[in-house]
Amino acid sequence: MNREDRTRREFLKTSVVAGGGVSLGLGGGGFRREPRGRMAGMGDVRSEPLRILILGGTGFIGPHQVRYARERGHTVTLFNRGKTNPHLFPDLETLIGDRNGDYEALEGRSWDVCIDNSASTPEWVTMAGEVLRDSVGQYLYVSSRSAYADFSTVPMTAEEPTYTYETAGVEPGSERLPYGLRKALCEREARRFFGDRLTVFRPALIVGPGDTTDRFTYWPVRIHRGGEVLSPGDPSDPCQIIDARDFTGWMIRMAEAGHTGVYNALGPAIPRPMEQLLYGIRAVTTAETRFTWVPADFLAQHEVRPYSHMPVWLPPGPGREGFARFDITPEVQKGLTFRPLAVTARDTLDFHFSRPRERQLDLQAGLSAEREREVLAAWHRARGG
């Protein structure tokens, strides 16, 4: 019996004694007993149908998660405020509550797996943990690559330290905490409640259809428009991202297998140079496009910011050498896969053009066409062109 099986069995045994009525059977109220079943072939892992609670479920990654879980025969329950995309999944059980304190709908229930997509403050994890620690068999928390305190290591792994108050330069009790510190604190709170039953995922930029941040969408849309495209930094600057469908599908398979621990979620395994990213996106359009590569220092002089004005791209300067150079060998060994960039780019474009016209014209990331022309003109002038 491996450690995961022992931990789960010990937890279930303790729950029966403490709770006086948590069933170990396949029906009614208990979670399922390990070990979970497996089906061979292509690394595909299956289990007996799981009862999965998703905190959130109707935002960007949630719908992909729900659809994939249902395709694989699992029963899904959502917990949210009923305000984001309430028209989705009318046939699913949706428990109405609020992560700011209203968890009454979860009381007296149990699930095999809980997926926490939405916690961005440690208080939310604390409140969920107080209600669910004896009610779920495994807790999956979506953290972030931003939880790492230092990106100077090459390659990066899940063993690198995450933020503390000290390394973030923030006093405990401060009202405003940096995003990376908040995610790191959420992880610690989840570990306090769920211990060895916790699985933490630290994704990079999550991309693909359904993304409303436009942090990747900018590039397919811009390249589709054609003409001279301002391209940032050195063409060899690395980038690692993750398609939402690759990420969420892997999460469900990890739950099926009962894998716990901490994992990064980004790819491909060999970091993709920005040049390959942009040329790969161009392959799905018929636009006449030419790329003009502008050095990072020139962009900085003209207040063009990495990762916001130039999405995806962050030059590997001092202290950031490993930002897009992660070794994801452990993740690939546990079934993380990546669909072709062309599929992600094409589906992102389809999603973009399905949105209302006014939304298509109001990208939330990247440079406006006018600003891009200004910077390109300045670059050509600087080069005497």
Domain boundaries, the chain: 3-203, 218-240+270-319+340-382
Per-residue confidence (pLDDT) for residue 44, from 0 to 100: 57
Torsion angle in degrees (nearest 10) through CA of 340, 342, 348, 352: -170
Q: If we measure between CA atoms, which residue out of 385, 371, 361, 377 comes closest to residue 225?
A: 361
Q: How far apart are CA 64 and CA 339, in angstroms?
A: 14
CA distances 62 to 106, 180, 192, 374, Å, are: 19, 21, 25, 39
Question: Structure tokens of 211?
Answer: 């993304």
Domain 218-240+270-319+340-382, CATH: 3.90.25.10
Per-residue confidence (pLDDT) for residue 118, from 0 to 100: 87
- Whether 266 and 328 have beta carbons less than 8 Å apart is answered as yes
- Whether 289 and 178 have beta carbons less than 8 Å apart is answered as no
Q: How far apart are CA 264 and CA 246, in angstroms?
A: 13
Indicate the pTM of the whole model: 0.89
- At 155, phi and psi to the nearest 5? -85, 160
Q: How far apart are CA 285 and CA 65, in angstroms?
A: 28
Report the DSSP pairing between strands 198-203 and 136-142.
parallel
- Band (31; pLDDT cuts 50, 70, 90): low
| Amino acid at site 332 | V
For 212-243, the pLDDT digits (tens) are 999 999 999 999 999 999 999 999 999 999 99
For 256-265, the pLDDT digits (tens) are 999 999 999 9
Instruction: Give the three-class secondary structure for 46.
Output: coil
Instruction: Give the three-class secondary structure for 77.
Output: strand
**Percent of the chain predicted with pLDDT > 70:** 88
Which run of H or of E encompasses 183? helix 179-194
Q: If we measure between CA atoms, which residue out of 93, 101, 197, 192 comes closest to residue 140?
A: 197
- pLDDT of residue 368 exceeding 60, the answer is yes
Instruction: Give the three-class secondary structure for 93.
Output: strand
More confident residue, 73 or 30: 73
More confident residue, 42 or 118: 118
Instruction: Give domain 3-203's CATH architecture.
Output: 3-Layer(aba) Sandwich (3.40)
Instruction: Give the three-class secondary structure for 355.
Output: coil
Q: How far apart are CA 147 and CA 8, in angstroms?
A: 27
